[in-house]
Amino acid sequence: MSLSLACSHAWRASALALVILSLPMPTWAQAAAPAPTDPTTAEPPGYREAIDEAIAEYSAGRYPEARALFTRAHALQPSARTLRGLGMAEFELRGYVEAARLLQEALSSTVRPLDGELRIATEALLARARGFIGRFALSLTPPELQLSVNGAPARVDADRTLTLPVGDHALYAQAAGYLPISHTLRVNGGENLSLNIALQKEQAAAVAAAPPATPPQEPPPGAVTPTSSVPPRDDEGGSIFSSPWFWTAAAVVVVGAGVGVGFLLLSEDAEAEAPHGGSTGVVLGGP
């Protein structure tokens, strides 16, 4: 074989190899190639079993069991799907504050995010949950004020928002050196209001409550005193009780006293009939 013929065969072999390498991979080769691993879809052992059991318990109306199983699945692999399951179980258990928090986290999660009809249904359930809670932006004086709700420390969010379910709630606020106050706050659902709680210092309250000192005064001339046994007389020698001016003045005093008593009773009745908290339930009274 001549040198030129050998070189021609070598060139042809190299060209054929380049053509083969440039062709697309056959279907059977693509199927045999390992697929890339997605850490968000790889389910740990026990996760699928917990999810299936949670869905079965939820469908049967056994919501505490469903919540426990969704909690187990969330501990194994937290995602928007497990948060949604937990929020749905809390809603059925009437834990509307926690349900709203979980459903909002589910909508915000980027791990196996909710989309399509699943997201629309979750947004609708979140709107229903918010209709059964009230949100109150707190303004506290002093800032170190300790607030309790129904005998337990208040759960305040990072943005100083207090979220409560519908119903009446006993609030109690206290701080060192201040007079504590208590109030019943009624939540009707859907509120988004400001709640200002200001305590009064003990020393200032004591000074304000002390009655003012009044110097002793001498009785005016002719006034009736406990030591007087004879009724005073007017300038013409008659008894003061026979003077028409005396009875006119007495009538005015009696009528004035009657008006004062009537005003006091009306005020007390008005206070007794006033509902706790009004229509918003955010006005705190004194101790």
What span, in angstroms and rounded, lies between the C-alpha atoms of 272 and 145? 29
pLDDT truncated to tens, each residue of the chain (287 aa)? 444 444 444 445 444 343 333 444 443 333 333 334 444 468 999 999 999 999 999 999 999 999 999 999 999 999 999 999 999 999 999 999 999 999 999 999 999 999 999 999 999 999 999 999 999 999 999 999 999 999 999 999 999 999 999 999 999 999 999 999 999 999 999 999 999 999 999 987 666 666 666 666 665 665 544 544 444 454 444 444 444 433 333 433 333 434 333 333 233 343 434 444 444 344 343 33
Claim: this prediction has a pTM higher than 0.75: no
pLDDT at 50: 97
For residue 154, being part of any structural domain is answered with yes
Burial level of 32, CB count in 10 A (0-12/13-18/19+)? exposed
Domain boundary among 178, 204, 230: 204
For residue 283, being part of any structural domain is answered with no
For residue 239, being part of any structural domain is answered with no
Q: Print the domain residue range for 168.
A: 133-204
pLDDT at 203: 85
Domain boundary among 83, 111, 130: 130
The domain tally of the chain equals 2
Q: What angle do CA 175, 178, 180 make, to 5 degrees?
A: 70
For residue 241, being part of any structural domain is answered with no
What span, in angstroms and rounded, lies between the C-alpha atoms of 134 and 136? 7
For residue 190, being part of any structural domain is answered with yes
What span, in angstroms and rounded, lies between the C-alpha atoms of 57 and 17? 61
